[in-house]
C-alpha cells in the first residue's frame, strides 16, 4: 500500500498552552536527542525554574520526535517509554502513528533512512526562513510503501531486538560506572579500604593523622594532581590529519559518564587539534560544570577544548579517572576556570588541586580491581558500535523487502546469535 505519511499519522496532536503546563515537567530540547539517543530530560518546576517558551509539545509512548531545523543533524528519536509529563520543544514535529495501519517503530525507521533525511534537508535549504528548516507538512507529504501490518511488526520486533542488546550493554556500563564511583568513595573518601585483615580501615580503628586536608590514614600524604597526572595531548596540524582518524569533539562527550561511545572521522575537521591515545582521559575544559570526562576508546584527535590527561604511573590510572569525575573536583575546576561568557578550566590550576594520596601498594590494588571495569566498558562500546552498524545497514534492506525476516536470512540470524 502506497500512501503519504500524513495519511497514517497525526502531527503535533498535543501542543499545550503556556498556562496549561503541569506543575512539573520533564523537558527535552532538540539538542537533547540525536539519532535516537536521548539525554536525560530536565526536570522543571513551573513558577520556580526558567521554563523555555518552546516547552509545549506533549509526547507519549510510540510517538516520533523529529527536529524541523537542519534535518541533516539527525535530531530525531522514538519514544519507547514515556515519563509522565514529558514535554518536548516546539522545534520538534511530533508524529503520532495510527497503529491500526502502521507499526510506529517501522515508521520511525522509514523516516530516518538517509534518502528521506537528505530529501528533507534539501527542502530545508530552499526554505525562506533564517536557517534551513522544514514545516511539519513537509514530513506529512513524504510517500511510503507499506507492507502488511504483520510484516511491519516482524521487522520492527527484529530491529528492536538489536536495540535491546544495545540497551543492555548501556545498562551494564552504567552499573560499572556506579560501582567504580562507590568503590572510590569507600576507599579514598571514607577511608574504608580493606586493611590487612580485610576489614574496613577507618571503622576498624585504623590510625588516622591530621593534615591540611583533614584527617587522613597514616602512611598517606597530601599531594597534588600534577604529582600523579600529566597533560599528554600533543598539537596536530590539519595537514597531518588523515581523513579516517577518529575525532572526538565536546559534542560527542556525554555528561557525567566516562563511556565515550560517539565519535566521527576527521573528514570535516578544518583546524588544528590535539592527539590522544586509547585509554587517555579526555576532560572537557569548556564549561567544566558539564562534567564531560571520559576514557578514550581509540587513538585519535580531539577538540582543543579537551584536555588529554593520563597518569604518570600505571598504578594511578583508575584512581585518577575516579578523581577527575568527582563532583568536588569538578566544582574546583568551575571556581578556577577563566573567562566569563565561555569559562574554561586550565591544566595549571587543575594540577594544583590537592588530594590525599594513598601508598602505591593500595593504589595498585585499586587498579587491579577497577581497570577490568573500564576495559569492559570499552569492550561494550565496541560491541554497540558493531550492532549500530549492522542495524544501519539492515534497515533499508528490510524496509525495501530485499531481506525477509521469515525466511531466516543468514544475515539476520547472525545478528541474533
What is the distance between the alpha carbons of residues 411 and 415, in angstroms, rounded to a whole number? 7
Which of 29-43, 165-179, 349-363 is least confident?
A: 29-43
Q: Residue 292: what pLDDT?
A: 97
Question: By percentage, how much of the chain surpasses pLDDT 70?
Answer: 97
Q: What is the pLDDT of residue 411?
A: 56
Count CB-CB contacts under 10 A for residue 7.
15
Q: What is the DSSP letter of 200?
A: B
What average pLDDT does the chain have? 94
| DSSP SS3 for 93 | strand
The three three-digit cell numbers of residue 27, written as one number: 523537558
pLDDT band at 82 (very low <50, low <70, confident <90, very high): confident
Q: Is 86 helix (H, G, I), strand (E, B) or coil?
A: strand
Enter the DSSP assignment of 194: B
Nearest-CA neighbor of 311 among 262, 265, 367?
367
**How far is Cα 400 from Cα 145, in angstroms, rounded to an integer?**
9
- Please give the domain boundaries of the chain with CATH numbers for all domains: 2-144 (3.90.220.20), 201-358 (3.90.220.20)
Residue 129 or 16, more confident: 16
**69-81 confidence digits (pLDDT tens):** 999 999 999 999 8
Mean pLDDT of 236-242: 93
Handedness of CA 133, 139, 142, 144 (dihedral sign): positive
CB atoms under 10 Å from CB of 188, counted, come to 24
Q: Are 384 and 170 in contact (CB under 8 A)?
A: yes
- Catalogue the E-assigned strands of 129-263: 143-145, 208-211, 214-217, 221-224, 229-231, 234-236, 246-248
pLDDT interval class at 19 (50, 70, 90): confident
pLDDT of residue 410: 58
Q: What is the pLDDT of residues 22-67, one digit of tens each?
A: 899 999 999 899 889 888 899 999 888 999 999 999 999 999 999 9
Give backbone dihedrals phi and psi of 365, rounded to 5 degrees, phi first. -65, -40
Residue 407's pLDDT band, with cuts at 50, 70 and 90, is low
Comparing C-alpha atoms, which of 98, 24, 15, 25 is closest to residue 62?
A: 98
Q: 312 and 228 in contact (C-beta within 8 Å)?
A: yes
* Residues 383 and 169 sit within 8 Å (Cβ to Cβ): yes
Query: In this structure, are residues 231 and 309 in contact, taking their beta carbons and an 8 Å threshold?
Result: yes
Percentage of the residues of the chain whose pLDDT score is greater than 90: 86
Residue 282's region, left for phi above 0, alpha for psi from -120 to 50, else beta, is beta
Q: Which residue has the higher pLDDT, 353 or 51?
A: 353
pLDDT the model gives residue 88: 95
Residue 128's pLDDT band (boundaries 50, 70, 90)? confident
* 337 SS3 class: coil
CB-hemisphere CA count at 13 Å for 246?
14
pLDDT given for residue 17 in this prediction: 86
Give how far Cα 359 sits from Cα of 188, 203, 230, 355, 362, Å. Answer: 11, 19, 19, 13, 6
Q: How many CB atoms lie within 10 A of CB 163?
A: 16
Summarize pLDDT for 366-406 with one digit per residue, the tens. Answer: 999 999 999 999 999 999 999 999 999 999 999 998 988 86
- Compute the distance between CA of residue 342 and CA of residue 327 in angstroms, rounded to an integer: 20
pLDDT at 196: 94
pLDDT of residue 81: 85
pLDDT number for residue 360 = 98
Q: Which of 16-25, 59-68, 181-190, 257-266 has the least mean pLDDT?
A: 16-25
Above 80 in pLDDT, residue 20?
A: yes
**Phi, psi at residue 362, to the nearest 5°?**
-70, -40
Nearest to 387 by CA among 169, 180, 89: 169
What CA–CA distance (Å, rounded) separates 160 from 150? Answer: 15
Question: Residue 417: is its pLDDT beyond 70?
Answer: no
Higher pLDDT, 332 or 31: 332
Amino acid at each position: 500500500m502506497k500512501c503519504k505519511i500524513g495519511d497514517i499519522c497525526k502531527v503535533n496532536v498535543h501542543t499545550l498552552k503556556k498556562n496549561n503546563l503541569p506543575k512539573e515537567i520533564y523537558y527535552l530540547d532538540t539538542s537533547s536527542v540525536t539519532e535516537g539517543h536521548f539525554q536525560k530530560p530536565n526536570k522543571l518546576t513551573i513558577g520556580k525554574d526558567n521554563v523555555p517558551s518552546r516547552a509545549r509539545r506533549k509526547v507519549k509512548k510510540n510517538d516520533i520526535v523529529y527536529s524541523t531545523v537542519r534535518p541533516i543533524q539527525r535530531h530525531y528519536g522514538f519514544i519507547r517509554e514515556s515519563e509522565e509529563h514529558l514535554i518536548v520543544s516546539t522545534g520538534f514535529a511530533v508524529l503520532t502513528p495510527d497503529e491500526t495501519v502502521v507499526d510506529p517503530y517501522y515508521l520511525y525507521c522509514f523516516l530516518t533512512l538517509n534518502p528521506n533525511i537528505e530529501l528533507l534537508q534539501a527542502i530545508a535549504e530552499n526554505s525562506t526562513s533564517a536557517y534551513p528548516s522544514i514545516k511539519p507538512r513537509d514530513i506529512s507529504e513524504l510517500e511510503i510503501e507499506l507492507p502488511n501490518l504483520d510484516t511491519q511488526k516482524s521487522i520492527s520486533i527484529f530491529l528492536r531486538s538489536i536495540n535491546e542488546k544495545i540497551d543492555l550493554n548501556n545498562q551494564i556500563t552504567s552499573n560499572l560506572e556506579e560501582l567504580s564511583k562507590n568503590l572510590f568513595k569507600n576507599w579514598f573518601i571514607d577511608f574504608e579500604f580493606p586493611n590487612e585483615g580485610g576489614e574496613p580501615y577507618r571503622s576498624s580503628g585504623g590510625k588516622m593523622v591530621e593534615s591540611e586536608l583533614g584527617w587522613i590514614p597514616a602512611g598517606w600524604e597530601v599531594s597534588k594532581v600534577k604529582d600523579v597526572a600529566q597533560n599528554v595531548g600533543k598539537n596536530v596540524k590539519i595537514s597531518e590529519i588523515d581523513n579516517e582518524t577518529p575525532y572526538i569533539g565536546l559534542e560527542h562527550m556525554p555528561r557525567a559518564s566516562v563511556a565515550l561511545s560517539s565519535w566521527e572521522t576527521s573528514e570535516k575537521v578544518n583546524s588544528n587539534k590535539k592527539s590522544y591515545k586509547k585509554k587517555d582521559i579526555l576532560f572537557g575544559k569548556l564549561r567544566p560544570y558539564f562534567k564531560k570526562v571520559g576514557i578514550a576508546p581509540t587513538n585519535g584527535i580531539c577538540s582543543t577544548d579537551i584536555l588529554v590527561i593520563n597518569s604518570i604511573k600505571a598504578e594511578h590510572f583508575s584512581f585518577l579517572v575516579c578523581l577527575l569525575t568527582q563532583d568536588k573536583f569538578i566544582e574546583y575546576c568551575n571556581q578556577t576556570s577563566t573567562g566569563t561568557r565561555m569559562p574554561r578550566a586550565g591544566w595549571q590550576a587543575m594540577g594544583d588541586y590537592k588530594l590525599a594520596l594513598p601508598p602505591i601498594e593500595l593504589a595498585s590494588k585499586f587498579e587491579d580491581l577497577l581497570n577490568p571495569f573500564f576495559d569492559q566498558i570499552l569492550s561494550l562500546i565496541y560491541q554497540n558500535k558493531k550492532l549500530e552498524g549492522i542495524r544501519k545497514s539492515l534497515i533499508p534492506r528490510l524496509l525495501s523487502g530485499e531481506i525477509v525476516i521469515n525466511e531466516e536470512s543468514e544475515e539476520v540470524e547472525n545478528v541474533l546469535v
